[in-house]
Amino acid sequence: MGMQETIRTFANRMFAYRTEMGLSQEELSDLLGLDNSYVSLLERGARVPSLISLHRIAMAFGVKPHDLLTEDDKGRKFSFRKKELTYLIRNAAPEKIDKIYRIVSVLREPVIKKTK
């Protein structure tokens, strides 16, 4: 992948993560501590982020910087929520992982319909 393709991939991924999170460009710029016009330029591929900005953006989305620079291996649309859950579990304390496990276990149980 050439430089221009990497820049385009970054811009597309940044836009996709932001919109999947339901954030406006202004909200994202506030979260990142960056100027709104800079965030707009990044999403259009008109600017290239510094390594510090790339790291900040990745942390805000709960992904690795690598995830912002590369296409999904299988060409499938990524799921922000799945990546976010993976990130949260990976960085959670053991007692939080236990709580997450219990919640997921409850959600997996079949719903039993009561008959009258």
Domain extents in the chain: 3-78
pTM: 0.65
Helices within 3-79 (DSSP H only): 3-21, 25-32, 36-44, 51-61, 65-69
Write out pLDDT tens, residues 33-92: 999 999 999 999 999 999 999 999 999 888 889 989 987 644 445 566 676 677 678 778
Measured CA to CA, the distance from residue 80 to residue 55 in angstroms comes to 17
Residue length, the chain?
116
> Region 2-19: what's the mean pLDDT?
93
DSSP secondary structure code for residue 115 in this structure: P
pLDDT at 21 over 60: yes
CATH topology of domain 3-78: 434 Repressor (Amino-terminal Domain) (1.10.260)
